[in-house]
A and B are shown apart, each in its own frame.
Chain A
Amino acid sequence: MRALLLALLLLGLTGAAALAVEPGERLADPALEARARALSSGFRCLVCQNQSIDDSNADLAHDLRVLIRQRIAAGDSDEQVRQFLVSRYGDFILLEPPVKPATYVLWAAPFAVLLLGAGAATIYFRRRRGALPEQAAPLSPDEQRRLKQLLAEGGEG
Chain B
Amino acid sequence: MRRLLYLLPVLAFTGLIAYFLLALQRDPSVLPSAMIDKPAPEFSLAGLGGAPGLARADAAGQVVLVNFFASWCVPCRVEHPLLMRLSHDLKVPLYGIDYKDKPEDAKRFLDELGDPYKRIGADSDGRVGIDFGVYGVPETYVIDKAGQIRLRHVGPLTPEAIRDELIPLLRTLQTS
Q: Closest B residue to A87 by CB, please name it.
A: B34
On whether the beta carbons of A90 and B131 are closer than 8 Å, the reply is: no
Asked if B126 is at the interface (CB within 8 A of a chain A CB), the reply is yes
Distance A58 CA – B135 CA, assembled complex (angstroms): 10
Contact of B100 among A46, A59, A64, A86 (CB under 8 A): A59
Point out the residue from A59, A63, A64, A92 that lies within 8 Å of B31, measured CB to CB.
A92
Q: Decide: A90 near B34, CB < 8 A? Known: A46-B135, A49-B28, A59-B100.
A: yes
Q: A46-B135, A60-B135 are in contact. Are A86 and B34 (CB under 8 A)?
A: yes
A90 pairs with B28, CB closer than 8 A: no
> In the complex the two chains form, is A47's CB within 8 Å of B31's CB?
no
On chain A, which size bracket covers the interface?
Answer: 10 to 19
Q: How far is the CB of B167 from chain A (nearest CB, A)?
A: 26
Given contacts A47-B135, A47-B136, contact A67 B130 (CB under 8 A): yes
Bound Cα distance A59, B34 (Å): 21
Are A88 and B32 closer than 8 Å at their CB atoms? Answer: no
Contacts of B32 in A (CB 8 A): 90, 92
Residues of B144-175 contacting chain A, CB below 8 A? none
Q: In the complex, are the beta carbons of A64 and B34 less than 8 A apart?
A: no
Q: Which residues of A, 46-90, contact B by the 8 Å Cβ criterion?
A: 46-47, 49, 59-60, 63-64, 67, 86-90
Please give me the residue from chain B that is nearest to A64 by CB atom: B130
Q: Chain A's interface: helix, strand, loop or mixed, by majority? A: helix
Q: Which residues of A contact B130 (CB under 8 A)?
A: 60, 63-64, 67, 88
Q: How far is the CB of B23 from chain A (nearest CB, A)?
A: 14
Bound CA span A89–B41, Å:
13
- Is the pair B28, A89 in contact by a Cβ cutoff of 8 Å? no
Q: How far is the CA of A49 from the CA of B28 in the complex (A)?
A: 9
- Chain A: minimal CB distance from B139 (Å): 12
Within 8 A of A (CB), among B3-40: 28-29, 31-35, 38
Contact A88 B34 (CB under 8 A): yes
In the complex, chain B residues whose CB is within 8 Å of the CB of A92: 31-32
Inter-chain contacts of B136 with A (CB < 8 A): 46-47, 60
A111 to chain B, nearest CB (A): 18
